Amino acid sequence: MSEIALAADFAIIVVVATAVGLLARQTGQPTIIAYILTGIILGPVAFDIVTDEGLVDLMAELGFAFLLFLLGLKMRFKDIQEILRPVTNVAFGQTVLQTALAFLVAWALGFDTTEILVIALATVFGATPIIVKILTDKDEITSMPGKIDVGGLIVQDIYLVVVLALFAADDLGGAADIATTLGVILVMISFIGIFSLASSRYVLPKLFRRVADNKEVFLIVAIAWAFLFVAIAEGADLSAKVGAFLAGISLAQLPYSKELEDRITPITNFFILVFFATIGLQIDGLNALLAYWWQAIVASIILMVGNFWIMFYLIDREGFSVETSFLGSINMIQVSEFSLIVGALALDQGLIESDVLGYLSLMALFTMRVSTYVIAYNHTIYAKLEPWFRRFESEGDKSDALSQYRNHAIAIGYDEITERALPNLEARYGEVVVIDRRTDHIDEIEREGRYSSVFGDFRHTEVRKEANLKGADFVLSSSVEREVNEALLSEVADDATVFVEADRIDDARALYDLGADYVIMSTHLTAEKLATYVELHATDRAAFEGAIAGDIAEILARQRRSRDRFGGHAAIDGHGGDGDD
């Protein structure tokens, strides 16, 4: 019988990565560092028990493709629309200036021409996953500096995709070759890009509206979509990742992308772990890793300081406040894992030796470690340095306010229970956001146009963030699932008012203990009411008839209301919106 765990290298990688990851976690380091270290430990540098062949290589490839798919999924044009102009300026300037700086540093350190080129192209990127992850954890991703950073990273990512495609092409002889290849790549990418955007406009909304209600089919169809583009990209001799990225972009524009993002993330995390480990595996030995150790430290320091000032200058020039410029810049000082990706590709193509990859790895490890702490304490650092940075303040700095939900009311699940209360909530809190897992409910809310809506299962982190659960003043949950309500109660602000629903008395009591303000128990309510009616029927027939007449009028009025609104029959049915699996 073939063995799948004992014999598989990647199984060893997963287990060791967990151990190293748990250790790293104790010192507050990001998991990516642990994964790269895992590769270094298991590879030629230390124990040399794992090779990057067969399944390991496949999984690393898949991890990379999924990472770019996920990156594409995060590229929602409407998220960065309002600050698109300044962000494009910043990102463009940053790419040019940082490439120049990286080029200079590499040249000064005495690398040869091809190596300088690779290093310069590789070290310019910010570490999108790290920055996004840390900022999200700190809840700053939707702040102004956060948005600027994300916008800049997206532009960089597009740049990255072009660079990757360039490296993946064979035979890069002279300048003319590069220019032709670049031209072909751009044309190819535009074709696939146009196809992807056109389908996101005309095909995908209909397609996904149908499948989004079924969680499993939804995921598989999305993955199939990614693989379709991967196959097309392979067919066009482009890198598979370019295809994955474009597939992601076309899905990102759909209203269902938030939940999808959360479903793809774990698959990506699983494979990307293998990918980062293979980077460590590719370094030939301790000598290769440490061949350029002092150059790596010098370059890291120069690039961190230099990149900060480049970003600060660019953001400040766009007229943002000093604080925004400072925070936006200090978040972006590390050399990203993308430098390793570019490096790994260049190694594959024979453009560099493994010692240059070792140099890049050292730089990445070093700058990531430093910047994790820097981002974590960004506000404290700013508070210390503020007096000095005041000098950059100028008149007419832009207001940094961004539109996002705040002090709003959230309703989880759009059904006959929540629907009644929404007007009250609107009157009180101004803005109401409805989270629902069913496309027909979301359509209905959108058609009515009175409340905001987020499609997705409340269980997913991204969905909760999109609705800004932490900033809500009032949350009403019509889910009777205890785990959902427990997650809700542990995440809302302490002073928010929370109404939840429960089916069982035990659940209700547990939810009260966790801080719910009121637990709706519809079955018990109905039982009580029904008992009263039945008693009236036996004792006082007139009172009975009066009571039911009122209720019947209410049901009919509700039906009339929804008919007036939609011209058809009432679309909401009785079952709660989320948790349909």
Which residues 86-105 are close enough to bind other proteins by CB under 8 A?
none
Q: Distance (Å, rounded) from C-alpha 304 to C-alpha 389?
A: 18
Q: Does 428 bind other proteins (CB under 8 A)?
A: yes
Pull the structure tokens for residue 385: 């340095």
Per DSSP, the residues of 387-419 read: HHHGGG--TTPPP-------S-EEEES-SHHHH
The nearer residue to other proteins, 262 or 316, going by C-beta atoms, is: 262
- Contacting residue, 3, 395, 494, 564, with other proteins by CB under 8 A: 3
Q: Does 553 bind other proteins (CB under 8 A)?
A: no
Which residues 305-344 are close enough to bind other proteins by CB under 8 A?
none
The nearer residue to other proteins, 379 or 561, going by C-beta atoms, is: 561
Select the span of 68-76, 336-344, 388-396, 412-420 touching other proteins (CB under 8 A): 412-420
State the nearest-atom distance from the C-beta of 376 to other proteins, in Å.
14
Cα 133 versus chain centre, distance:
8
State the nearest-atom distance from the C-beta of 298 to other proteins, in Å.
33
Select the span of 222-230, 303-311, 372-380, 392-400 touching other proteins (CB under 8 A): 222-230
Which residues 234-293 are close enough to bind other proteins by CB under 8 A?
234, 240, 262-267, 269-270, 273
With H, G, I as helix, E, B as strand and everything else as coil, classify residue 436: strand
- Contacting residue, 225, 276, 320, 414, with other proteins by CB under 8 A: 225
Which residues 148-207 are close enough to bind other proteins by CB under 8 A?
207
Amino acid in position 96: V
Say if CB 476 and CB 499 are below 8 A apart.
Answer: yes
State the nearest-atom distance from the C-beta of 357 to other proteins, in Å.
19
Residue 454 DSSP class: E
Q: Does 417 bind other proteins (CB under 8 A)?
A: yes
Residue 476 DSSP class: E
State the nearest-atom distance from the C-beta of 40 to other proteins, in Å.
18
State the nearest-atom distance from the C-beta of 252 to other proteins, in Å.
18
The nearer residue to other proteins, 145 or 413, going by C-beta atoms, is: 413
Pull the structure tokens for residue 408: 């709003």
Q: Distance (Å, rounded) from C-alpha 535 to C-alpha 538?
A: 5
State the nearest-atom distance from the C-beta of 456 to other proteins, in Å.
11
State the nearest-atom distance from the C-beta of 544 to other proteins, in Å.
9
State the nearest-atom distance from the C-beta of 353 to other proteins, in Å.
22
Which residues 518-537 are close enough to bind other proteins by CB under 8 A?
518-535, 537
Residue 285 DSSP class: -
Q: How far is CA 222 from CA 176, 227, 253, 264, in A?
A: 39, 9, 13, 9
Which residues 39-78 are close enough to bind other proteins by CB under 8 A?
54-55, 57-58, 61-62, 65
Taking the CA atoms of 335, 338, 344 and 346 in sequence, report the sign of the dihedral they define.
Answer: negative
Q: Distance (Å, rounded) from C-alpha 25 to C-alpha 28?
A: 5
State the nearest-atom distance from the C-beta of 224 to other proteins, in Å.
2
Q: Does 461 bind other proteins (CB under 8 A)?
A: yes
State the nearest-atom distance from the C-beta of 218 to other proteins, in Å.
9
The nearer residue to other proteins, 22 or 286, going by C-beta atoms, is: 22
The nearer residue to other proteins, 28 or 110, going by C-beta atoms, is: 28
Cα 167 versus chain centre, distance:
26
Helix (H) or strand (E) holding 475: strand 474-477
Residue 473 DSSP class: S
What is the per-residue binding string for other proteins in 467-506, x denoting contact by CB under 8 A?
Answer: ---------x------x---x--x------x-x-x--xxx
Pairing relation of β-strands 432-436 and 452-455? Answer: parallel
State the nearest-atom distance from the C-beta of 82 to other proteins, in Å.
31
Q: Distance (Å, rounded) from C-alpha 259 to C-alpha 467?
A: 12
Q: How far is CA 204 from CA 210, 218, 220, 228, 245, in A?
A: 10, 12, 14, 14, 16
The nearer residue to other proteins, 263 or 369, going by C-beta atoms, is: 263
- Contacting residue, 188, 223, 370, 514, with other proteins by CB under 8 A: 223
Which residues 14-43 are close enough to bind other proteins by CB under 8 A?
14-15, 17-18, 21-22, 25-26, 31
The nearer residue to other proteins, 221 or 346, going by C-beta atoms, is: 221
The nearer residue to other proteins, 381 or 510, going by C-beta atoms, is: 510
Q: How far is CA 487 from CA 192, 332, 453, in A?
A: 41, 32, 20
Q: Name the E strands within 146-231.
A: none
Say if CB 388 and CB 351 are below 8 A apart.
Answer: no
Nearest Cα to Cα of residue 198 among 133, 259, 250, 120: 250
